[in-house]
Amino acid sequence: MIGGSAEESVDDSYVLALGYRVNNSTNNTTTEGLAQAPQWYILKVAFNREDTIRESLEKRIKLSNHKEYFGEILVPTEDVVEFTRAGKKRIVKRKLYPGYLMIQMIINDDTWFLVRETPGIGDFTGTYGKPTPMTDADVERIIKLVHPDVDQEQVPKTSIPFRSGDRVRVKEGNFQSLEGDVDRIDEANGRVTVIINIFGRSTPVELDHWQIESL
């Protein structure tokens, strides 16, 4: 049987937290348990092993008799700008959903077991033990990030290692050595707004992210 117990499955609220919606409105299986067309699913995998697990799964599929049931397997990433300690800029790949893979496949008993028996793979996301496909809109959105249109110039975001509410210290500039709390983050421009106490007043100050450090 395809699926597991309800206790082992991931409920809708957890799936929504990943930034995509499950498609519960359609039933795309035949009486034999085969989907009418390949669909995209999310797999929960071991954290920080996404790439090696994808490679392992691809090898298992290639050696199996079920290659025709599988499409692309993705570790969703986006290009972001990082700065080294020396202040040099570099573009790196950042995982959109650490601990998860996207897989395009037709689910039946054989393909389900092939995937689930791959070391490092936990389970499909879904409800009540049933793998639930992603919606077309969310698939399209993520695919555009992973495979951007070559005709459109993509401006990488800046990777900023702070969150709203973090306590930080200014290490460069006019406010050097002052402390404050992160209020807003602008990844597109690499800027951070910090609330700093200046002359007894809480004042929002916009800084380049490399001008501050965590406490």
pLDDT tens column, 128-144: 778 999 999 999 988 88
Work out the average pLDDT over 141-166.
74
Helices 109-116 and 50-63, interaxial angle, to 10°? 140
Work out the average pLDDT over 61-88.
85
- One domain, residues 104 and 49: yes
Contact in structure between 212 and 194 (CB atoms under 8 Å):
yes
Q: What is the pLDDT of residues 170-189, one digit of tens each?
A: 998 888 899 999 999 887 77
| Last residue within a domain, chosen from 139, 157, 175 | 157
Residue 77 has pLDDT above 50, yes or no: yes
Residue 3 has pLDDT above 50, yes or no: no
Residue 85 has pLDDT above 90, yes or no: no
Q: Is the pTM of this model over 0.75?
A: no
Of 182, 186, 187, the residue nearest 165 (C-alpha): 182
Alpha-carbon 70 to chain mean position: 21
Band of residue 150 on the pLDDT scale cut at 50, 70, 90: low
- One domain, residues 134 and 74: yes
Element (H, E) at 176: none
- One domain, residues 91 and 176: no
Residue 33 has pLDDT above 90, yes or no: no
> When comparing pLDDT for 47 and 210, which is higher?
47
- The boundaries of the domain holding residue 185 are 160-214
Band of residue 104 on the pLDDT scale cut at 50, 70, 90: very high
Compute the chain's Rg from CA coordinates. Answer: 22
- One domain, residues 69 and 148: yes
- One domain, residues 78 and 176: no
- One domain, residues 21 and 59: yes
> When comparing pLDDT for 34 and 110, which is higher?
110
Q: State how far the Cα of 178 lies from the Cα of 60, in Å rounded to an integer.
A: 55
Sequence-ordered list of residues with C-beta below 8 angstroms from that of 63, at least 6 positions apart, any chain? none
Can you give the CATH number for the domain in which 35 is found?
3.30.70.940
Give the model's pLDDT for residue 80.
78
- One domain, residues 61 and 126: yes
Q: What is the pLDDT of residues 5-21, one digit of tens each?
A: 333 333 444 344 444 44
Give the model's pLDDT for residue 141.
86
Give the model's pLDDT for residue 32.
45
Band of residue 200 on the pLDDT scale cut at 50, 70, 90: confident
Give the model's pLDDT for residue 81.
75
- One domain, residues 169 and 148: no
Within a domain: residue 53? Answer: yes
